[in-house]
Structure 1
Amino acid sequence: MAFASLAACSSSKVVGGGEAASSTVAEATATSESSVPGTDAATTTGPTTTVAATTTTAAAPEPLVLRGDGIGEFALGAAAATVVDGLTEQLGPPASDVGADYPAADGLGQFTTADGETGFVAPLGRTVCWSMQFCAEFGGAAAESLSFTGWTYHDDSSTALQSSSGVTIGTRWSDAPEITADEGGCYSVGSGTVDGIRLTLESEGEPFGSFDDMGNYVIGAPAPADVTVIWMETGEVPIFLFGDC
Structure 2
Amino acid sequence: MEKHYQGYLIDLDGTIYLGKEVIPAGKRFIERLQELELPFLFVTNNTTKTPEAVADRLAKEFDIHVGANTVYTASLATIDYMKEQDKGNRVYVIGESGLVDLILSAGFVWDEEAPDYVVVGLDTAINYEKFATAALCIRNGATFIGTNPDKSIPTERGLLPGAGSFISLVQTATQTDPIMIGKPNAIIMNEALKVMQLEKPHVLMVGDNYETDIQSGLQNGIDSLLVLSGFTTKAAVSTLPEQPTYVVDSLDEWIF
Specify if TM > 0.5. Answer: no
Q: In proportion to residue count, which structure has more strand?
A: 1
TM-score by length of 1: 0.24
Question: Which has the higher relative contact order, 1 or 2, with Cα contacts under 8 A spaced 6 or more apart?
Answer: 2
Q: In proportion to residue count, which structure has more helix?
A: 2
TM-score by length of 2: 0.23
Name which one, 1 or 2, has greater alpha-carbon Rg. 1
